[in-house]
Structure formats: C-alpha cells, structure tokens
Amino acid sequence: MIRAQGLGKAYGQVPILAGVDLHITEGEWWGIIGPNGSGKSTLMQLLSGVESPTAGSVSLRGRELSSYNRKALARIVAVLQQEGLDPTDFTVREVLEMGRFPFLNWLGREDKDATPLIDAIIRKLDLGGFEERRLTELSGGQRQRVALGKVMVQEPSLLMLDEPTTYLDIRYQLQFMDMVAEWRNSSGITVISVLHDLNLAAQFCDKLLVLDQGKVAGVGKPEEVLTAEYIRQIFRVEPSIVTHPENGAPQVLLTANSTWS
C-alpha cells in the first residue's frame, strides 16, 4: 500500500527524521508512537504528501507519492488532524458534503449522487438530528465525529490519523477508535495513526513503529514493542506491563514518581 525507504527530513541544518524504512500493506492498522519531539507528526506529513522529504522516498501503490496530483491523492488518502474541525458556521451536512471534493469535476459537480452515502454515514456515526446544526453548536466530541464522517464520505483507501483523540475525554476516545475499527473491518481500509496513548495503540493497532530522536527505535506487534525494557528506554519511565483481561493486549501501568532522568 505505502512504502518509505531511507526517509529523512531536515529544516536547514536541523535533522528531524533520518533513515526511516516502512512498508504497510493493504488493510493493516499501524500506530506510530514515541516521546514528544521524536518526529511522529513529521513522518505523518511526509507519508501524506503534505511535506517533501529531504532524503529517501515515499511510494503509494508502487508509484512515487510526489507524482500524484492533489485530487488523485485525495481519492486514495484522507488525513484527520488532532484538531479535527474548527467550530464554524457550516452545518454538519455541509461539512460532510465537502468530503466529496476529490470527485467533483471542473464544474463543481459529481457524476453520481452522493446523498445515499452521506445519509448512511450520518446513521452510522449517530449524527441523525445534527444534520442542520452548525459546528459552533457542537461539543468537541461531536465535532470529531463529524470530522470522521467527512473523511468517510471521501471514501479513501488509506486513512491517516494524527493524534485524533488528544482533546477527547475517555468515553469519546474509545467511541472514536471503535468507529474507526468498525469502518476498517467493514471496508478493509488501511489506517496509520499517531497516538500518545500506548494502551489505545496496543488495543487497536496491528503493528507499532517506535520513533526516538527522529530514528526508528522499534517495529513490531504491540506485544513485541510494548515491553518494560522498550518503554523504559524510550519514554524514561518505570512501567509495569499487564495483559488486558478481555482482549489480551499489553497494557502499560505507571505509578507516581516513576520517571527518571
């Protein structure tokens, strides 16, 4: 699906990423984890085409990412940032309709009627009754659901999430991740997500890529990466690792005064 080889990014003489190799196949859910400043968001920007690398390359479906024009790329890749959607005067339905931009012709029209698709996504995300409400009237969790709906309407094959649960409380974090998981299970979409919450990453991702100081520090399944040794080395805390009683995923427990320098 998407491959990075020797990927690097520097701003002037300051290196941000170096030597990143990554190969993600169709239908996988990868999580990118690491401490603040490790280059997670920069990697996401390179993989999505928002930024150009200063070293290495990114290919999407066997073709150089830079060879895609904006609309062609948007028919394959959708990106959801941590801010989701700003509170604007657009209604929920108007925002969802914006997700069809990649499929509009030069007259601003689409060959097919997207109304049934939008209606189905409104039902799936439990947004019925909110369609004519403006984003300024919605809570942060509701706006994030609308943001997810917008990228669902886009019908991408690859979804990139950059810290999508940062501003959500526990209930909405789980709700959001469950909705993405359900979408992936029903459509086979590929997902790449930058996550700070290691326990969410362990429960939802097939594989994890660990970044530290701009370099790959580990790649593997959650149970291979989320070990006490790895977490101690990368995050500089003393963790306890337990197994989730329902799904078997590793879960990270921390105690007060567990950090060290």
Which residue's structure tokens are 């939802």?
Answer: 204
pLDDT band (50, 70, 90) for residue 261:
low
Residue 174 in tokens: 């789980």
Q: Answer yes or no: is pLDDT of 237 > 70.
A: yes
Average pLDDT of the residues of the chain:
90
Closest CA to 229 of 244, 241, 242, 243: 241
pLDDT one-digit tens code per residue, 115-162:
999 999 999 888 888 889 998 888 878 888 899 999 999 999 999 999
- Helical (H) or strand (E) element with 191: strand 190-194
Question: 140-153 and 115-124 are packed helices; what angle lies between their axes, rounded to 10 degrees?
Answer: 140
Which domains are delineated in the chain? 2-253 (3.40.50.300)
pLDDT band (50, 70, 90) for residue 258:
low
- Tell me the CB-side half-sphere exposure of residue 233, using CA atoms within 13 A: 12
pLDDT at 6: 96
pTM greater than the 0.85 cutoff: yes
pLDDT band (50, 70, 90) for residue 12:
confident
Closest CA to 239 of 225, 259, 223, 219: 259
